[in-house]
Amino acid sequence: MKKISVLFVCLGNICRSPAAEAIFINLLEKKGLTDSFCVDSAGTGHWHIGKKADSRMRIAAERRDINILSRARQITTQDFQQFNYILAMDDSNFRNIQNLKNRSSSTDYASIKKIQNFRSFFNEEEVPDPYFGGDEGFDHVLDILEDSVSGFLESIS
């Protein structure tokens, strides 16, 4: 059985997308679905390649028993062939992903969507970037992502 592959994407891959990845993995573990999925995260920018997620996001996630273990990487044209779903955190990154896809000559099968298309309880159409704000912004982003990531999983299961 082929695994369903999911890539979460934000700007630097140190706050929102690694948190979404970890939340999704946590949900899969709770539902016993880990073996059916391949999950990763990436950024449209290159500034943080190889770095751990922002310590403020890791701490906020750990308070919810969610471990963010990934290292930052940048999205590549190969991702359009490797992943079934590519989920952008906001409009700007959605456009950046689409632009990269349009410059690629390779065929793909990735469905590119905005994660907030799957929200149930929050009005935000984008997942805000908490990087330049206070600690409460990281908790708010986790609340938003727990809602939309679980909505995404429901939509494909």
What is this structure's pTM?
Answer: 0.96
Residue from 157, 16, 27 nearest 87 by CA: 16
Assigned CATH topology for domain 4-156: Rossmann fold (3.40.50)
**β-pair type (4-10, 37-43):** parallel
pLDDT at 126: 97
Active-site pick, 15, 16, 54, 90 = 16
In DSSP terms, which residues pair with 111 in a beta bridge?
85
pLDDT in tens, 36-95: 999 999 999 999 999 999 999 999 999 999 999 999 999 999 999 999 999 999 999 999
Q: Does residue 10 have an active-site annotation?
A: yes
Element of type H or E holding 62: helix 55-62
Which pLDDT band holds residue 11 (cuts at 50, 70, 90)? very high
Active-site pick, 10, 54, 58, 147 = 10
Active-site pick, 54, 79, 129, 147 = 129
- Residue 71: DSSP 8-state: B
